[in-house]
Structure 1
Amino acid sequence: MPIQSQVNLKTRSGNRCIITFGGQQVGLLQSVRANDDYAPEPASGIGDIHVQEYVPTMARHTLSIQTMVLDVGALINAGAAMQNGDAVLQGLVFDIEMYSKDDGTLLRKYVGCSYASGDLEITKHAIVMQTGQFNALDVAGTAV
């Protein structure tokens, strides 16, 4: 009699996620860190030092990515990272989306992303890596 088995997947793993930049996967993406900051300001009144409420004042959505640099499919070739200042002035934006590889569920979508900054790391005996910082106009998705 064969052994009965069952699926025991209760957590999300980077091995089971797909990240797209403007609808396409980019090279060998190593990590994506997304930060949502609503810049809460304390509200209190004259004569009272106790905060009554934290009021959100500005939504800031930033993403930090790290990827291996490939001969084909690098961030610049894909149009996700800018080559120089002239390219940045074009004002190009795209969406960065995170999906479940298992069932295609949208985990998080960052809308209207623009390249802010990045760097390239070349180290002896190591794969060449590129990092990038992106700013997004908005965010959607609640499956994380």
Structure 2
Amino acid sequence: MLQNSKVNTGNRIAVVLDGKTIGLVQSVEMNDSYGLEPASGIGDIHVQEHVPTIATHSLSISTLLLRKRQLEKAGIIPENGEAVLKGLVFDLEVFSKDDGTLLRKYVGVSYDSGSMSVQKHAIVVQNGQFKALDVTGA
């Protein structure tokens, strides 16, 4: 029997804090920008190369389910603006459903904006914008 080897389908996306999965994501759009700036020589208007100036990793998540008890234990439910200033972060990991290998990992992820609801035993982010410090994987 042949198995697809070039396409990953049905991947699992986990929210990880201190090595523990504290939530799952149903859909995520991952954007990476490296702030390319044109570089040219003195007296030359032609661009010689594009130089990266800053890496920006943005995540747009639809339906993020966080386990409330684990969030409370970890102390990462921000109560107000002062709590947000503590700068608590988590990682977002994308795993292959086929063999469980880690495909992509965003580290140092912080909540930027969005809408959420609190339901029985869970916090559900309907639409959320997040920023990450770094990314690994392909």
TM-aligned CA deviation for residue 116 of structure 1? 1.0
- Superposed structure 1 runs of 4+ greater than 6 Å apart: none
Q: What is the alpha-carbon distance in structure 2 between the residues aligned to residue 81 and residue 31 of structure 1?
A: 22
Structure 2 residues not aligned, in runs of 5+? 118-123
Cα RMSD for the two superposed structures = 2.5
Q: Percent identity?
A: 55
Q: Is the 8 A contact 2:8 2:98 kept in 1?
A: no
Partner of 1:125: none
Higher strand share: 2
Give the alignment partner of residue 21 of structure 2, picking from 21, 24, 35.
Answer: 24
User: How many equivalent residue pairs?
Assistant: 123
Report the TM-score, using the length of structure 2 for normalisation: 0.75
Report the TM-score, using the length of structure 1 for normalisation: 0.72
Q: Closer, same or farther in 2 for the Cα pair 1:56/1:31, shift >3 Å?
A: same
Which has more radius of gyration? 1
Q: Closer, same or farther in 2 for the Cα pair 1:120/1:93, shift >3 Å?
A: closer
Partner of 2:85: 89
Structure 1 residues not aligned, in runs of 5+? 1-5, 69-73, 122-127
Structure 2 counterparts to residues 23-102 of structure 1, below 5 A: 23-24=20-21, 26=23, 29-67=25-63, 74-75=65-66, 77=68, 79=71, 82=78, 84-102=80-98
